[in-house]
Structure 1
Amino acid sequence: MMINKYIDHTLLKPAATQEEISKLCNEAIKYKFYAVCVNGSYVKFAKEKLKDSNVKIAAVIGFPLGAMTTEAKVFGAKNCIEHGADEIDMVINIGYLKGKEYAYVEKEIFEIKQAIGEKILKVIFENAALSKDEIKLVSKLSENAGADYIKTSTGFGDGGATFEDVKLMRESVGDHVKIKAAGGIRDVDTAKKYIEMGVERLGTSSGVLLVTTGLSDKNSY
């Protein structure tokens, strides 16, 4: 199984430089990764670097905390699309979910999806901060709101993807909602197991190591 086409090659560190984003894009072209995943300020730059390739651009919104206003998230999503992003990875308002403000959480996802139209929306949960019931619930809220993908984690929280959580997410939504596993994917066997479970995208900053050596840097996303 070739895992490169499942990988969103990711660099979201706040200190990432233009030179590092350029390297990320060149690696994505070389290894034929599905997409690069970057912060909004680098979308326009990545678009230029990738203009002659098939590599997509995913931009993160409300990252990594998810706690800014819906209006700010909507503006950020539209702005990134205007600058060339193909996909938006948004963080839910975790505190509002835990505070049982379910209508707010669903409406926010809906408004961002409406703002970006046919572009892909991935909804990031931060599963390590949630109970199993909350994971099931927010999976359904995301589906109801029109999300294209549900995603396990930012990679900046206390934990990343787990097999148990991915199974729970898969069981909570219809087949039309896809799953992205992100955070803590340390070796190619783990990556392949996620794919066998039905995961259609893998978020990792160690894509090159995974496809060349089969192992990632233990300190990476």
Structure 2
Amino acid sequence: MTKQAFFKVITPESGFRDLLGIYINWTGVGFVCAIIAERLDHFSGVSYASYYTTSLNSAIGVKFWALISIIGLLLFCLSLPLVYLDQRSTRFKKNCQRFRYFSYGFFLVAFDEGALILGILLANLIHTNERADLLTTKSFLFTEASFLSIVALIIANSLLWLLGESLYNRQHKNYSGVVYLIVTSPLKYSVPVYLLFTIAFVMLVINQS
């Protein structure tokens, strides 16, 4: 399979056009909030300014983003057998659709949260001061708002979006892309890979300290 053909197969029904638009929207919100909080920090003696600069620090964090992402990925693993059964019997269709929609919600929230964090990290990268240091060390668990951490977040967050959009399409309520590729693959390949990935992921979550 060529690279072009592979990208065509894994492309969700919604396409990649929405991805850029959502990134611009939510990353922009995070960026603007961080800049405003940084400006207000100069007036930290004023009660309302102190309130808003502190609120940005406690509102968003990687731990919460990681929690939503992990739940979404676990639900994704549970969704695949249901999708496989749905392909072979209509009796599972309604329950499968509801479960896919429920699972999709976690991916949607995780992606939006990740995009907000990305905007704040970009603002910190451009202009780092005492407030920005507090944000990265206390809230985001990054030692610094580095280019590497931003690239890693973009990759991870984009993969979450891809899995979510492949699992459920808001317009047609069906699955596509990666999910369709997995459930239509020969069982002798897909089942071992699925079990290996699921067990490895569960063990990673359990052993995370």
Query: Under TM normalisation by the shorter chain, which class is it?
Result: under 0.3
The structure number with the bigger radius of gyration is: 2
TM normalised by structure 2 equals: 0.25
TM normalised by structure 1 equals: 0.24
Choose between structure 1 and 2: higher helix proportion: 2
Choose between structure 1 and 2: higher strand proportion: 1
